[in-house]
Structure 1
């Protein structure tokens, strides 16, 4: 069986400053473009049977610079809609809401274009993605690459492992421009590598 290769998009100004970038289409920085280009030699030897990406430009540009072809934009791979917390850092949110934790407390509704999304809604989206990917991997013909975002990748990984979406909090946040590898051995899903630069 092939591996599911999770690619976190390259650095943006918002990821650098710790701002929550859900649906806001923030471009890659120069460093983010360099990170994406650096992925190309690591991905080139892989036999990819499919490549899916969040439709946001930071993910699509990462896929392009990493040398991936035949990329299919998938709206289910867009980052968590942070609602009223879009553009804020965790510290700024905690000034308004002491003790706030994204995984436990979720988000509040925002303005137009940022209605907000609860964890189980994100989980439902990644479950749909995994339902489309698993048959592609089970043939054993190659790997599938997914270019997405930090929190979404954590939820997708928890669901791959058969865990509750809330258990995503146990995974470290993947750094921009990194790879993670999900696989199955003897019928059991596992993480073969996480947050590889």
Structure 2
């Protein structure tokens, strides 16, 4: 990583650890379900390897945290930052709990498997031959459509750019942490790059995993994502 890149503010996106429904493949939106034992361990592992002074996610460089109100996200934030979280609040780092980064509202599809959703839609004549349900394009009956998700994510991204725009060369700490859910974070990446949600872009984000977004050329008008990022070198 060049010196310029090391100064450019970053956005860390963290998916909550495993839950029972995630393990089973059930669509989990508003249902407030906690982490499994493995899910908590995933978060602890991420914290032990990545969080700390001079590490990839350095609490001293954080300016803002956005977190979903769901328990699985709240517990992930607490497990990830541990004692750092209390210190950050004392130092004036705002921790914003907001529905704007809550999981996609699945409405009538809540708790269903992907196969069950597609079979039900076909029976109701919503999907024709060779057409299968795609949340990015079709949204959810009784839940959210892509326009609603786009609107709320764009609000968060606009707030982040306001924070980071004046700090493109390390003028002050400006990293941002977003702790949320698998589908909404993939949607977040799409909107960060300025793409419509329905544009095909296959992405994977495992439970407890970390993604990094930033900007090219120290320019807030050139949002980008790291497909590979060098870890900090210990001094």
Question: Same fold judged by TM-score > 0.5?
Answer: yes
Q: Distance in 2 between matches of 1:77 and 1:193?
A: 22
Alpha-carbon distance between aligned partners in 1 of 2:175 and 2:74, rounded to the nearest angstrom = 19
Aligned residues: 187
Output the CA distance in 1 between the equivalents of 2:108 and 2:204: 21
TM-fit CA distance, 1:191: 1.1
* Rounded Cα–Cα distance in structure 1 between residues aligned with 2:98 and 2:204: 22
Tell me which residue corresponds to 2:152. Answer: 125
- C-alpha separation between the residues in 2 aligned to 1:133 and 1:37? 26
Shift of 1:136: 1.9
Tell me the secondary structure at the aligned position of residue 144 of structure 1.
strand
Q: Secondary structure in 2 aligned to 1:183?
A: strand
Aligned partner of 2:216 among 159, 163, 185: 185
* Ranges in structure 1 where 5+ consecutive residues have no aligned partner: 110-115
Alignment of 1:144 onto 2:183: no
3-state SS, counterpart of residue 152 of structure 2: helix
Mapped partners of 2:164, 2:73: distance in 1: 22
Per-residue CA deviations over 1:40-86 (Å, capped at 9, x if unaligned) read: 13022322111110011100100000115143212211111000000
Match of 1:4 among 2, 11, 22: 11
Provide the rounded CA distance (Å) in 1 between the counterparts of 2:47 and 2:208: 11
What secondary structure is seen at the aligned counterpart in 2 of 1:21?
Answer: coil
Q: What is the CA-CA distance between 1:94 and the residue it aligns to? A: 1.5
Q: Work out whether 1:63 is the aligned partner of 2:94.
A: no
Q: For residues 147 and 49 of structure 1, do their structure 2 counterparts lie closer, same or farther at Cα, with a shift above 3 Å needed?
A: same
Q: 1:156 to 1:104 in 2, by over 3 A?
A: same
Q: Does 1:105 align with 2:138?
A: yes
CA distance, structure 2, for counterparts of residue 147 and residue 85 of structure 1: 23
Aligned residue for 1:113?
A: none
Name the larger-Rg structure: 2
Cα distance in 2 for residues equivalent to 1:165 and 1:33: 30
Match of 2:51 among 43, 55, 58: 43
Instruction: Give the structure 2 partner of residue 75 of structure 1.
Output: 99
**Alignment partners' CA distance in 2, 1:82 and 1:158:** 19
- The match for 1:53 among 67, 81, 85 is 67
Cross-structure match for 2:203 = 172
Shift of 1:97: 2.1
Cα deviation, residue 142, structure 1: 3.4
Q: TM-score, normalised by structure 1?
A: 0.89
2:141, 2:97 → 1: CA distance?
A: 27
Q: Which runs of 5+ in 2 are unaligned?
A: 1-7, 90-94, 123-131, 229-235
Structure 1 residue ranges, 4+ long, deviating more than 6 angstroms after superposition: none
Cα RMSD, aligned residues only? 1.5
